[in-house]
Amino acid sequence: MKDPNEEYYRTLGETTNQTRITFPLSYFKHFALYTFRVHACREQATKVPGVVVQDMADLCGSEVLFIYRTPTKPDADDIPLDSIELDDQSNHTQRVIRVRWKGPSKPNGALVSYSIKYHRTDLDSVQPTVRCVTVDVHTSLGYALLTKLDAGNYSIRIMATTTAGNGPYSPPKFLSLEKRESDTLTVGWLITIGAVAVVLVSLLTIEPLRAHEDGFDEDEDDPYSIEGTDSRLMQNNGPKPDIRSPHSPQR
């Protein structure tokens, strides 16, 4: 983006008879791309009274072009710490932190996005979460919302990303989200609902087993029981077959 207060084109000239010329240049912007065009020119031939001078050659030679990018400025992409504001915007459904900040005034190149790194400081071994916010969104809203949070102490840092790369993260700012009475009630309700669900599952499992046991008739003859087999044999009054072996002795 061009700054209307900055000069983008400058022409420098100097008369000299030397073949090597050095111009000290200053007031360059950090991480900016500059184009240099250099060509040598001569003065027009001096007119001599009574002499016709035909100077048909070009006054300037061929142009030489080269491009140079200035280095980055170490602290140009810093987020002003005093511009970071944290507000508790929690409601009855979820906890929310609103983060406001201002971008660097003269960054290294064009701003691309911001990264918000946050995590709880009252827990051990917690990996931080990184939220990316585009420059367009930040320019439009001026803030970002961190949602789906739990009660606890939070550390929040912000980093700017430009065409030169990632800048440094800002020093942390802290905000504490207090517990509410509704949290205890919610946990109690969850425990109650869980206990009721366990009881219902147990009842639904036991009742079919009892129905199956009640439907089994204990007086019904079991074809595989000994008593059932004996009773059927006793009911058979027909002649019994001779099952003696042909080699058995005669009585």
User: Is residue 69 situated within a structural domain?
Assistant: no
Of the pLDDT bands very low, low, confident and very high (cuts 50, 70, 90), residue 138 is very high
**Residue 87 in domain:** yes
Residue-averaged pLDDT of the chain: 80
Residue that wins the pLDDT comparison between 31 and 251: 31
Amino acid letter, residue 9: Y
Query: Are 167 and 77 within 8 A, CB to CB?
Result: yes
> What is the average per-residue pLDDT within 78-90?
96
Residue 251 lies in a domain: no
- In the chain, DSSP finds a helix count (H) and a strand count (E) of 3, 10
Among 98, 38, 106, CA closest to 67: 38
Total domains present in the chain: 1
Neighbours of 94 (CB within 10 A): 11
- Average of pLDDT values for 145-167? 96
* Mean pLDDT score, 80-87: 97
Checking if the pLDDT of 60 tops 80, the result is yes
- For the full predicted model, state whether its pTM sits above 0.75: no
Give the pLDDT score at 247: 52
Residue 250 lies in a domain: no
Task: Look up residue 19 and give its two tokens.
Answer: 């073949």
Residue 68 within any structural domain of the chain: no
Q: 154: domain CATH number?
A: 2.60.40.10
Tell me if 149 is assigned to some domain. Answer: yes
In a domain, 233, yes or no: no
Residue 200 burial class via C-beta count within 10 angstroms: exposed 0-12, middle 13-18, buried 19 and up: exposed
Owning domain of residue 124? 81-177
Please say if the pLDDT value at position 232 is more than 60. Answer: no
Provide the percentage of residues in the chain whose pLDDT is more than 70: 71
Contact 123, 180 (CB under 8 A): no
Q: Which residues contact 130 (CB under 8 A, 6 or more apart)?
A: 115, 116, 117
Residue type, 228: G
Say if residue 243's pLDDT is above 90.
no
The DSSP-derived string for 204-230 is HHHHHHHHHHHTS-TTSPPTTSHHHHH
Assess if residue 89 is contained within a domain: yes
Q: Render pLDDT for 203-219 as a digit per residue (tens, 0 to 9).
A: 777 666 565 555 555 55
